[in-house]
């Protein structure tokens, strides 16, 4: 074969491997920024409001663009929202951005500040970036999640303090991107599983702040994620990043098979405050953490390093329920 034919074959192969989604699936409502086409919606909220609030399964397809709005989803029946992308398998080619910039103080609560607020069961989101652009200073949520059987696939979540509120219900975050600095994956009763994500740290702080308040079924289980230093990190980030601190007494967080290149503090885990530590009932556990960011780690006594057999007890099934295969998109697991 000539080099040109070989190159053509390689290009063909990579195009085939990266599945694209560039047109609406049959039956989907269509959102397109600036559209004047009859039947299409100029923003996502308008499409969401157009859906019947009944038990039927519905979908929405969004063309590329930045949509400056908060999106609040409550309809009762199953809903799937698809973002336009040339590569469904990852967040990297996402072209749909939902952007708002409310702080919790301005909005009245953490949930009310969310750029995307999911208050429904049976919801899937594919290849959409969700951003809270408020910046540093106070709580400002990108995604506020309260539903059961909710899957977020190849999505990007961007914020600074409290980016991702996994507050209630069973939920999976797969092959996506999560960015922040302070307590940026947090919540109370969420049963959440995070797999194959890139987690980017942009300032000194804590990746998680579990606010579990009793020995309930909630936990945050992470498997196979990478924690990196984000672009333009705040000054003084190096040595001041931790996997988590306990927002409440029963915080429960497990990180398995994590590669950490962000420059962590050697303690890896943190108390809430020195004068209010909240460490008596927590589980802060790890298995097989590697990477340049955790060299020389010296964990405190309240951190747990799991054996292989102990780690095997924390799976997607134990995190979100043994029926997970009936609602999680297996192509992202
Ligand atoms: C969304 O579109 C609807 C209908 O065109 C409009 O009434 C509404 O103001 C828009 N919302 C935002 C947040 O742009
Ligand atoms: C849809 O119905 C549910 C109850 O079935 C209700 O809680 C929710 O507010 C309704 N949403 C809308 C947009 O009317
Ligand atoms: C929490 O509940 C589980 C069962 O759901 C039990 O196995 C465990 O011992 C309890 N832990 C504490 C600290 O009470
Ligand atoms: C440890 O984690 C790395 C990164 O996810 C993975 O490649 C490796 O197979 C894991 N090792 C074990 C023993 O599970």
183 belongs to the catalytic site: yes
CA 67 to chain centre: 19
For strand 123-126 and strand 185-187, is the pairing parallel, antiparallel, or unpaired? unpaired
- Report the pLDDT value the prediction gives residue 12, as an integer from 0 to 100: 52
Say which ligand is closest to the CA of 33.
1
Q: How buried is 54 (Cβ within 10 angstroms: 0-12 exposed, 13-18 middle, 19+ buried)? A: exposed
Distance from Cα 216 to the centre of ligand 3, integer Å: 8
Per-residue pLDDT of the chain (333 residues; tens, 9 = 90+): 555 555 555 555 444 567 999 999 999 999 999 999 999 999 999 999 999 999 999 999 999 999 999 999 999 999 999 999 999 999 999 999 999 999 999 999 999 999 999 999 999 999 999 999 999 999 999 999 999 999 999 999 999 999 999 999 999 999 999 999 999 999 999 999 999 999 999 999 999 999 999 999 999 999 999 999 999 999 999 999 999 999 999 999 999 999 999 999 999 999 999 999 999 999 999 999 999 999 999 999 999 999 999 999 999 999 999 999 999 999 999
Q: Which pair of structure tokens corresponds to residue 161?
A: 């303090």
Looking at ligand 1, which atom is closest to the CA of residue 70? Answer: 13
- Say what the pLDDT of residue 18 is: 76
Asked if residue 75 has its Cβ within 6 Å of ligand 2, the reply is yes
- Among the atoms of ligand 2, which is closest to the Cα of residue 75? 1
Q: Residues enclosing ligand 3, CB less than 6 A?
A: 215, 281
List the strands of the sheet with 71-73, edge to edge. 71-73, 116-118, 143-145, 164-166, 185-187, 205-210, 241-244
Annotated catalytic residue: which of 54, 87, 183, 323?
183
Give the chain's domains with CATH numbers.
Answer: 27-180 (2.160.20.10), 195-333 (2.160.20.10)
- Residue having the nearest C-alpha atom to atom 4 of ligand 4: 257
- CB-CB contact of 146 with 167 (8 Å): yes
121: annotated active-site residue = no
Regarding the beta carbon of 46 and ligand 1, being less than 6 Å apart is answered yes
Q: Which two structure tokens, joined as six digits, stand for 286?
A: 């790890």
Please tell me if the CB atom of residue 297 comes closer than 6 angstroms to any atom of ligand 4.
Answer: no
Question: What pLDDT, on the 0 to 100 scale, is given for residue 40?
Answer: 98
Ligand nearest to the CA of 287: 4
User: Looking at ligand 4, which atom is closest to the CA of residue 256?
Assistant: 2
How many Å apart are CA 165 and CA 185, to the nearest integer? Answer: 6
- What separation in Å is there between the alpha carbon of 14 and the centre of ligand 1? 39
Task: Give the Cα separation of 210 and 228 in Å (integer).
Answer: 21
Residue 224 Cβ inside 6 Å of ligand 4? The answer reads yes
- Concatenating the DSSP letter of every residue in 230-260 gives PSSPPTT-TT-EEEE--SSTT-EEEEES-EE
Tell me what pLDDT residue 3 has. Answer: 56
DSSP states of 56-83: --EEEEE-SEEEES-EEE--SS-EEEEE
Kindly report the protein residue whose alpha carbon is nearest to atom 6 of ligand 3: 215
Nearest CA to ligand 2 atom 8: 74
Cβ–Cβ under 8 Å, residues 283 and 319: no
Q: Which ligand is nearest to the CA of 76?
A: 2
């Amino acid at each position: 074969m000539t080099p040109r034919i070989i190159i053509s074959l390689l290009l063909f192969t990579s195009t085939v491997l990266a599945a694209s989604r560039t047109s609406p699936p049959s039956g989907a409502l269509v959102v397109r920024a600036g559209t004047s086409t009859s039947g299409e919606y100029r923003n996502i909220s308008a499409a969401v409001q157009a859906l019947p609030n009944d038990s039927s399964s519905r979908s929405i397809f969004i063309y590329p663009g930045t949509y400056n709005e908060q999106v609040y989803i409550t309809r009762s029946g199953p809903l799937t929202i698809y973002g336009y992308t040339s590569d469904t398998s990852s967040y990297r080619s996402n072209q749909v951005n939902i952007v708002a910039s409310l702080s919790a103080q301005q909005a009245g609560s953490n949930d009310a500040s969310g750029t995307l607020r999911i208050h429904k069961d049976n919801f899937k989101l594919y290849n959409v970036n969700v951003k809270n652009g408020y910046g540093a200073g106070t709580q400002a949520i990108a995604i506020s999640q309260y539903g059961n059987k909710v899957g977020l696939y190849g999505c990007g979540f961007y914020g600074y303090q409290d980016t991702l509120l996994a507050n209630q219900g069973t939920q999976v975050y797969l092959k996506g991107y999560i960015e922040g600095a302070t307590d940026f994956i947090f919540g109370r009763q969420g049963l959440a599983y995070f797999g194959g994500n890139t987690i980017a740290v942009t300032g000194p702080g804590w990746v998680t702040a579990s606010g579990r308040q009793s020995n309930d079924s909630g936990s945050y289980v992470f498997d196979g994620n990478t924690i990196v230093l984000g672009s333009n990190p705040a000054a003084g980030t190096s040595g001041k990043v931790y996997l988590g601190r306990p927002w409440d007494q029963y915080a429960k967080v497990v990180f398995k098979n994590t590669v950490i290149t962000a420059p962590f503090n050697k303690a890896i885990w943190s108390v809430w405050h020195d004068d209010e530590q909240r460490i008596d009932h927590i589980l802060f556990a790890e298995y097989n953490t590697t990477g340049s960011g955790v060299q020389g780690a010296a964990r405190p006594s309240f951190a747990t390093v799991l054996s292989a057999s102990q780690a095997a007890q924390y799976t997607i099934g134990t995190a979100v329920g043994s029926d997970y295969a009936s609602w999680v998109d297996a192509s992202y697991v």
